[in-house]
Chains A and B, each alone.
Chain A
Amino acid sequence: MSEKVYGLMAEFDSPAAILHAAEKVRDAGYRRWDAFTPFPIHGMDKVMKLGNSLVGWVALGGGVFMFLQIAGLIWFTNAFDYPIIVGGKPMFSVPMTFVPSYIMLIMGGAVGALIGMLGLNQLPRLHHPLLDQKRFALVSRDKFILLIGAQDEKFCATETKTFLESLGGTHVEIVEDKD
Chain B
Amino acid sequence: MADSALNLEELKRLAPPVELQRAPVVEGNKGLGWLTDKLSVFAEGKTPRWWWILFIPAAFAATVIFPTCLFYQVFTGVGVWGNNHPVMWGLDIVNFIWWVGVAHAGTLISALLFLTKQHWRTTIGRMAEAMTVFSVMMAGLYPAIHVGRAWFDWFMFPVPNSNGLWPQFRSPLMWDVFAVNTYLVVSSLFFFMGMIPDFAVLRDRATTRIRKTIFTFLAMGWTGSARQWHNYEKAYVVLCGLCTLLVFTVSSIVGLDFCTAQIAGWHATIFPLYFVIGAVFCGFGMMLVILIPLRKWCGLENIITMSHMDKVAKLALVSGLIIDYIYLMEFFIAWYSGDPYERWVFGHRLFGHTYMVLGWMLIGINVCVTQLLWFKKVRSNLLWLFIIGLLINCGMWSERFVIVVGSLYQDFLPANWGKYMPTIWDIGLYIGTLGAFFMLYLLFVKFLPMIAISEVKGVMPEADPHHPLGGAKKGDHQ
Contact surface of A with B, Cβ cutoff 8 Å:
13-17, 19-20, 22-23, 34-45, 48, 50, 52-56, 59, 70, 73-74, 77-78, 81-82, 84, 86-87, 89, 96-97, 99-100, 102-104, 106-107, 109-111, 113-114, 116-118, 120-121, 123-128, 130-131, 136-142
Contacts and interface: CB of A to CB of B under 8 A. Distances in A.
Contacts of A99: 172, 175, 178, 253
Contacts of A103: 175, 178-179, 182, 249, 253
Interface of B: 31-33, 36, 158, 164-170, 172, 174-175, 178-179, 181-182, 185-186, 189-190, 192-193, 197, 200-201, 203-205, 216-217, 220-235, 238-239, 242-243, 245-246, 249, 253, 454-455, 457-458, 462-466, 470-473, 477-478
Given A38-B224, A40-B458, A141-B36, A114 B239 contact: yes
A37 B222 CA distance: 11
A53 B234 CA distance: 7
26 contacts: A16-B477, A17-B471, A19-B477, A22-B226, A34-B225, A38-B32, A39-B463, A48-B227, A55-B238, A56-B238, A78-B170, A97-B169, A100-B169, A109-B242, A110-B243, A111-B185, A114-B192, A114-B235, A117-B193, A120-B231, A123-B221, A131-B221, A138-B204, A140-B454, A141-B36, A142-B33
B250 to A, nearest CB: 8
Given A111-B185, A111-B189, A116-B235, 19 more contacts: A37-B224, A39-B455, A39-B458, A41-B229, A45-B226, A48-B226, A50-B227, A50-B230, A53-B233, A55-B235, A84-B168, A99-B175, A99-B178, A110-B239, A114-B193, A123-B220, A136-B204, A138-B204, A140-B197
Given A20-B477, A78-B168, A35 B226 contact: yes
B170 A86 contact: yes
Given A55-B234, A100-B169, A40 B229 contact: yes
A96 B204 CA distance: 50
A173 to B, nearest CB: 16
Contact of B220 (A37, A41, A70, A124): A124
B1 to A, nearest CB: 10
A96 B175 CA distance: 9
A71 to B, nearest CB: 10
A102 B220 CA distance: 31
Given A82-B165, A103-B179, A140-B200, A41 B234 contact: no
Contact of B225 (A35, A52, A107): A35
A133 to B, nearest CB: 11
Contacts of A106: 182, 186, 242, 245-246, 249
A16 B179 CA distance: 45
A93 B358 CA distance: 41
A151 to B, nearest CB: 15
A142 B31 contact: yes
Contact of A13 (B178, B179, B471): B471
Contacts, number: 224
Contacts of B186: 106-107, 110
A130 B223 contact: yes
Q: DSSP class of A's interface residues: helix, strand, loop or mixed?
A: helix
Contacts of B457: 38-39, 142
A41 B224 CA distance: 11
A40 B471 CA distance: 16
Contacts of A102: 249
A110 B167 contact: no
Contacts of A131: 221, 223
B140 to A, nearest CB: 14
Nearest to A146: B226
B182 A104 contact: yes
B463 A142 contact: no
A109 to B, nearest CB: 5
Given A117-B193, A117-B232, A77 B221 contact: no
Contacts of A117: 193, 231-232, 234-235
Contacts of A109: 238, 242
A14 B222 contact: no
B423 to A, nearest CB: 34
B169 to A, nearest CB: 5
Contacts of A140: 36, 197, 200-201, 203-205, 224, 454
Contacts of B466: 16, 42-43
A50 B227 CA distance: 8
Contacts of B220: 118, 123-126
Q: Which of B166, B245, B253, B464 has the most CB of A within 10 A?
A: B166
Contacts of B190: 110
Contacts of A39: 197, 224, 229, 454-455, 457-458, 463
A103 B220 CA distance: 29
A96 B168 CA distance: 10
B182 A137 contact: no
A125 B368 CA distance: 55
A15 B465 CA distance: 5
B464 A141 contact: no
Contacts of B203: 140
Contacts of A41: 226, 229, 463, 465
Contacts of B463: 15, 39, 41
A74 B167 CA distance: 9
Contact of A16 (B33, B172, B470): B470
A34 B174 contact: no
A141 B32 contact: yes
A16 to B, nearest CB: 4
Contacts of B178: 70, 99-100, 103-104
